[in-house]
C-alpha cells in the first residue's frame, strides 16, 4: 500500500506557518519555551527522513515522515489558553 505525501501546496502552507510561528515567538513574544518546542518538532521531522537504517519499509518511513510533518503545524503544548484550557495554535491565537 502506497502512502501519500503532502502536496506542494500543503508543504508551503505548513512551512510558512512554522516560520511565522518561530518569528513571532522569538522576536515578538520572546517565548524561549515555544521556540524550543518548534525547533524540537523540526528536529523530529528532519530525523524522520533518515531514521530506521533501512529497517522500515518505504510505506512505514513515509507514514513516520507524514506524522512528524503534521506536527509541525499543531498547536503548541507550551502555550495553554487558561480560558479554554486548550493549546493555542502557533499562528492563530483564536484557533
**Does 44 or 91 have the greater pLDDT score?**
44
Domains of the chain, residue spans? 8-88
Q: If pLDDT is split at 50, 70 and 90, which confidence band does 92 have?
A: low
Please state the pTM of the whole predicted model. 0.74
Each residue's pLDDT tens digit, 12-49: 999 999 999 999 999 998 889 999 999 999 999 999 99
**Residues in a beta bridge with 88:** 76
Helices (H) and strands (E) counted in the chain, each on its own, are 3, 2
Amino acid at each position: 500500500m502506497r502512502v501519500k505525501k503532502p502536496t506542494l501546496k500543503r508543504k508551503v502552507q505548513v512551512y510558512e506557518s512554522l516560520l511565522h510561528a518561530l518569528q513571532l515567538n522569538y522576536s515578538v513574544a520572546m517565548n524561549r519555551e515555544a521556540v524550543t518546542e518548534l525547533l524540537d518538532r523540526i528536529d523530529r521531522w528532519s530525523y524522520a527522513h533518515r531514521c530506521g537504517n533501512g529497517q522500515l519499509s518505504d510505506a512505514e518511513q513515509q507514514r513516520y515522515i507524514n506524522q512528524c510533518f503534521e506536527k509541525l503545524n499543531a498547536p503548541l503544548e507550551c502555550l495553554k489558553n487558561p480560558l479554554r484550557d486548550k493549546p493555542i495554535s502557533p499562528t492563530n491565537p483564536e484557533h
